[in-house]
């Protein structure tokens, strides 16, 4: 945990020189200090806090570069940003804050470094390094953040009830940092999150989602998902997920706990992909099971059509959490809806037609679909696990063979509406759609090959059946 190397950075020397000329105390604070002490590397983002105007200091620093760097000023927040090839530097004046009960937006006034450190969310984020000539390089750590780093603990600088009630976003940030860093949340801080869970409701969905996505993108998201569940935060913004928790028993028959199964699936897929929306698909793949759960005396517990129901529920969830409603939502819906399709194709009796239809429906997302299916294997029986994986490999190979033969994945109808109108005396309308759909179905069913000549001849047959007149 040696900071000597970091303190030799030319940018810090320049900031120190300018601050001396301005008679303005200045410090590096927050994430740079934390991450450097953990990794002994140089994080790109550097937060500079000064007792005075952060904007004026940034403007002076920018003049020292050739050519002069652009300063982005955010007057509303009292901050300024400078970017060069290596670093993003944010400058802010030290401040103290007070809060009203109905908002996480503080009343801000100028303050000292001590005031600024007190308002920080966690002890590991409250450490500062002096860039002042009189004590250059001194670590200023009033809340023992360095010890908490060593002990891998997330703790608030002040009373956690006040910290979390003032700004409830800090509750999900505590969980996010614990998940990212592999830390534990100090016991009293953890209990304070549970006590203040209702304050979570004043947050904007965008801020919640931003932190939640960071948890999903961690190497082991289940750590954060469990903490969100245990602190009662998850049910406040994603109740559909917590509704999956629990095991019911009827006549001695039980089903698995679909909540803990789901977070295991998310962990499985996170080992293989960094695609955010594929991780979301894993998170929501069984979301419809709570609504479709039924007990049948003859066959036990069933979840019929949970994939279809779940894909519809995804729309509601995306809207509520202010997630993008375009291609990202369609992608997640598709994977949820088709998540059980490959299982039905494992038998030798599965037809080429069924394989073509999955190829057609999944398109370019076929590999992601199979990745989801394989991640859905959570049995602890090693033999069963290997058998399930072999089954999916078997289906993948069958589909690969059909794809090489029939080229269905990126299916484009060989016959277009223009071809039909050039052949028959009809204008745009329902009959063109009927013919195009019939050709597509014939190709998927294997009645004709996926090429122009076969499709054209089939079009002529359809025209005769529909009594359409050929153009001369």
Quick one: pLDDT at residue 228?
98
Per residue in 329-368, pLDDT (tens digit) is: 999 999 999 988 887 777 666 677 888 888 788 888 989 9
Quick one: pLDDT at residue 375?
92
Answer whether residue 1 shows pLDDT above 50.
no
Mean pLDDT of the residues in the chain? 87
- Reported as a pLDDT band with limits 50, 70 and 90, residue 239 is very high
- Reported as a pLDDT band with limits 50, 70 and 90, residue 100 is low
Tokens of 212: 């939640």
Quick one: pLDDT at residue 324?
95
Per residue in 291-341, pLDDT (tens digit) is: 998 877 777 777 888 899 999 999 999 999 999 999 999 999 999 999 888
Quick one: pLDDT at residue 277?
98
CB atoms closer than 10 angstroms to residue 391? 18
Distance CA 61, CA 68 (A): 9
Tokens of 25: 């105390």
Per residue in 174-227, pLDDT (tens digit) is: 999 999 999 999 999 999 999 999 999 999 999 999 999 999 999 999 999 999
In the chain the domains, ranked by start, together with CATH numbers, are: 4-151 (3.30.460.10), 152-237 (1.10.110.30), 417-465 (no CATH)
Maximal CA-CA distance, the chain:
96
Quick one: pLDDT at residue 98?
59
* Mean pLDDT lowest among 262-266, 403-407, 420-424, 425-429: 403-407
State if pTM tops 0.85: no
Tokens 């190497």 label which residue?
A: 219
- Reported as a pLDDT band with limits 50, 70 and 90, residue 383 is confident
Distance CA 421, CA 324 (A): 39
* Mean pLDDT lowest among 103-107, 193-197, 387-391: 103-107
Answer whether residue 404 shows pLDDT above 50.
yes
Residue range 36-40: average pLDDT? 80
């Amino acid at each position: 945990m040696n900071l000597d190397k970091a303190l030799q950075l030319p940018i810090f020397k320049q900031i120190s020189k300018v601050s001396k000329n301005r008679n303005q105390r200045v410090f590096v604070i927050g994430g740079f200090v934390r991450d450097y002490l953990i990794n002994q590397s140089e994080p790109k983002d550097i937060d500079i806090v000064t007792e005075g105007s952060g904007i004026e200091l940034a403007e002076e620093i920018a003049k020292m570069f050739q050519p002069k760097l652009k300063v982005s000023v955010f007057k509303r927040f009292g901050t300024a940003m400078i970017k060069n090839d290596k670093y993003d530097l944010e400058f802010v004046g030290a401040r103290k804050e007070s809060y009203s009960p109905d908002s996480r937006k503080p009343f801000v006034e100028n303050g000292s470094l001590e005031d600024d450190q007190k308002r920080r969310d966690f002890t590991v984020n409250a450490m500062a390094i002096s860039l002042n000539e009189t004590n250059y390089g001194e670590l200023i750590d009033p809340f023992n953040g360095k010890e908490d780093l060593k002990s891998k603990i997330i703790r608030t600088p002040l009373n956690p009830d006040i910290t979390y009630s003032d700004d409830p976003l800090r509750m999900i940030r505590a969980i996010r940092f614990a998940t990212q860093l592999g830390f534990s949340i100090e016991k009293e801080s953890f209990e304070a999150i549970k006590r203040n869970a209702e304050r979570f409701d004043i947050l904007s969905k965008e801020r919640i989602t931003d932190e939640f996505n960071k948890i999903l993108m961690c190497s082991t998201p289940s750590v954060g998902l469990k903490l969100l569940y245990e602190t009662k935060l998850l049910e406040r913004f994603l109740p559909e997920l917590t509704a999956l928790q629990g095991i019911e028993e009827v006549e001695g028959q039980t089903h698995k706990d679909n909540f803990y199964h789901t977070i295991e699936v998310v962990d499985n897929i996170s080992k293989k992909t960094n695609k955010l929306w594929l991780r979301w698909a894993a998170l929501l793949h069984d979301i419809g099971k709570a609504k479709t759960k039924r007990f049948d005396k003859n066959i036990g517990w069933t979840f019929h059509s949970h994939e279809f129901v779940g894909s519809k529920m995804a729309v509601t969830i995306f809207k509520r959490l202010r997630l993008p409603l375009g291609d990202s939502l369609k992608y997640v819906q598709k994977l949820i809806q088709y998540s059980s399709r490959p299982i039905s194709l494992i038998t030798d009796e599965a037809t080429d037609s069924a394989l073509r239809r999955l190829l057609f429906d999944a398109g370019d997302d076929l590999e992601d679909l199979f990745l989801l299916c394989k991640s859905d294997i959570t049995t602890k029986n090693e033999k069963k696990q290997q058998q399930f994986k072999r089954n999916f490999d078997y289906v993948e190979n069958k589909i690969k063979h059909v794809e090489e033969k029939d080229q269905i994945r990126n299916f484009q109808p060989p016959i277009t509406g223009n071809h039909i109108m050039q052949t028959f005396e009809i204008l745009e309308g329902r009959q063109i759609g009927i013919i195009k759909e019939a050709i597509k179905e014939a190709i998927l069913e294997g009645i004709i090959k996926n090429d122009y000549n076969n499709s054209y001849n089939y079009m002529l047959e359809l025209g005769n059946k529909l009594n359409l007149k050929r153009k001369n």
